[in-house]
Amino acid sequence: MEDKVSKVRMSGPLTPFTFGFAGELRRVGYREHPICDQVRLMAHLSRWLSARNLDVTDLTSEACHAFLDARREAGYILWLSPKALEPLLQYLRGIDALPPEPEIAPSPAAAVLEAYRQYLTSEKGLTASTANGYIHLVHRFVGTRGRVAGEPDLRGLTARDVTRYMVTHVVGHGSAKLTVTSLRSFLNFLHVNGVVDSSLGSAVPSVFGSRLAGLPQALEPGHIQRMLASCDRNSVVGRRDFAVLTMLTRLGLRRGEVAALDLEDVDWRSGDLVVRGKGDRLERLPLPDDVGRSIAAYLKRGRSACESRRLFLRVRAPHRGLSPAGVSAIVLGASVKAGLPRVGAHRLRHTAATAMLRAGAPLSEIGQLLRHRSPLSTAIYAKVDRDALRDIARPWPGGAA
């Protein structure tokens, strides 16, 4: 590795960092050719800095953009975006070779939303992803408020303002229900922090709709088999994707729960799996044999050796834990390769519950697997059992005997 890197012509202020940077790339999972590409980009940047009598401490955001502009003008066609320099900048920041980025004071609206985020995660115990969802939905509401001394006019809020916002800005039944929940929470936060004199949560109009009105959209067993068969289990990607899909369809985990699994969460001796559910609750689930075998195959001949303790990793360097969006991408990709309509990760959770119901499992057991806090959350699956519904259905008045 060092022989390859040493063949790159280095000069200028970044030269002393060459082998340290290459070693860091290797540590996080980069292969030989990408490492050499990164070092060549580093060499070009170092020469550019030297030609302008600049040092590493002058490597500001503005300097990086100027370098990339010069690289485009010179006719380069690769490594032209700020993302290309991010591995080098992260390394230099990590060893304190770069001065800290100047802190930009958040806007008044951003400061309010950040305080609300802290309230959700610390006081209410919500996960970061759930808090982000709330922030996303109330951000628009804050943006509609006028300014008083440069800050959003939240102290002047009235019940009429809240109702008018819901009527004029919220479209769609599903969006409205989520907005109602988020906006009520935000208005209660403003009251708790003394921004408004009384809680305006009750001013948010309710949205009609029963939580049991819908029908779980489960996949047919044949479709699941086609998705699993689409994974090339002779490849690293295929073994990982097969393990993720098997876990989703057999255990009904949420995408975030799969992404949050660590190596230590799999207890091979007892055959258990520790899952971090909603509200950061730790719960144990039995590890079925086929799920365990799919994980073991990925660990033996798929998972890269790196410092991350996450069970499922990105295949491309840097090797970090798979994100919830990455789990969704695996499901979507498998459905497309299987020739099916686009499938989301949560639909496999419905599929796991429906399969248990069709196999004769009572709703109480399904609720335990899905880790529902309320039996009402599980009750919706009763509508999937059509045979049982026929037994309790009453004859249509005036119909045939």
Judge contact between 38 and 30, C-beta under 8 A. yes
In a domain, 393, yes or no: no
In a domain, 103, yes or no: no
Q: Provide the angle, in degrees to the nearest 10, between the axes of the packed helices 159-169 and 128-143.
A: 100
Mark whether 162 and 34 lie in a shared domain: no
Mark whether 84 and 152 lie in a shared domain: no
Judge contact between 184 and 201, C-beta under 8 A. yes
In a domain, 395, yes or no: no
Contacts of 126-131 with C-beta under 8 Å, sequence gap 24+, read 126/279, 127/256, 127/278, 127/279, 127/280, 129/256, 129/324, 130/278
Of these ranges, 89-103, 158-172, 351-365, 368-382, the one predicted with the greatest mean pLDDT is 89-103
Mark whether 82 and 120 lie in a shared domain: no
In a domain, 213, yes or no: no
Identify the pLDDT of residue 396: 61
Mark whether 331 and 275 lie in a shared domain: yes
In a domain, 43, yes or no: yes
Mark whether 249 and 272 lie in a shared domain: yes
Mark whether 63 and 184 lie in a shared domain: no
Mark whether 75 and 133 lie in a shared domain: no
Instruction: Report the amino acid identity of residue 256.
Output: G
Listed residues 67, 94, 121: the one ending a domain: 94
Phi and psi of 71, rounded to 5°?
A: -65, -40
Listed residues 203, 234, 265: the one ending a domain: 203
Identify the pLDDT of residue 242: 97
**What tokens appear for 116 in the block?**
């609300």
**What tokens appear for 75 in the block?**
């006719």
Least Cα distance to 165 among 182, 188, 140, 187 occurs for 140
Instruction: Indicate yes or no: pTM above 0.85.
Output: no
pLDDT digits (tens, 9 = 90+) for 364-398: 777 777 877 777 667 666 555 555 445 444 566 66
Report the C-alpha gap between 369 and 70 in whole angstroms.
57
Identify the pLDDT of residue 392: 43
Identify the pLDDT of residue 41: 94
Alpha-carbon torsion angle 387, 389, 390, 395, nearest 10: 180
In a domain, 210, yes or no: no
**What tokens appear for 79 in the block?**
């490594």
Rounded to an integer, the average pLDDT of 255-273 is: 93
Mark whether 70 and 141 lie in a shared domain: no
Mark whether 65 and 141 lie in a shared domain: no
Q: What angle do CA 100, 102, 104 make, to 5 degrees?
A: 140
Mark whether 342 and 367 lie in a shared domain: yes
Query: Which residue's entry shows tokens 């001065």?
Result: 99
Q: Which residues are catalytic, by number?
A: 254, 278, 346, 349, 372, 381
Report the C-alpha gap between 253 and 348 in whole angstroms.
8
Helix (H, G, I), strand (E, B) or coil at 148: strand
Alpha-carbon torsion angle 230, 234, 238, 243, nearest 10: 100
In a domain, 265, yes or no: yes
Listed residues 61, 94, 127: the one ending a domain: 94
pLDDT class for 89, splitting at 50, 70, 90?
very high
In a domain, 10, yes or no: yes
Judge contact between 285 and 265, C-beta under 8 A. no
Residue 248 belongs to domain with CATH number = 1.10.443.10
Residue 123 belongs to domain with CATH number = 1.10.150.130
What is the count of structural domains for the chain? Answer: 3
Judge contact between 247 and 352, C-beta under 8 A. no
Tell me the residue range of the domain where 333 lies: 221-388
Instruction: Report the amino acid identity of residue 173.
Output: H
pLDDT class for 112, splitting at 50, 70, 90?
confident
Mark whether 28 and 125 lie in a shared domain: no
Rounded to an integer, the average pLDDT of 195-222 is: 72
Mark whether 67 and 128 lie in a shared domain: no
pLDDT greater than 80 at residue 86: yes
Identify the pLDDT of residue 70: 94
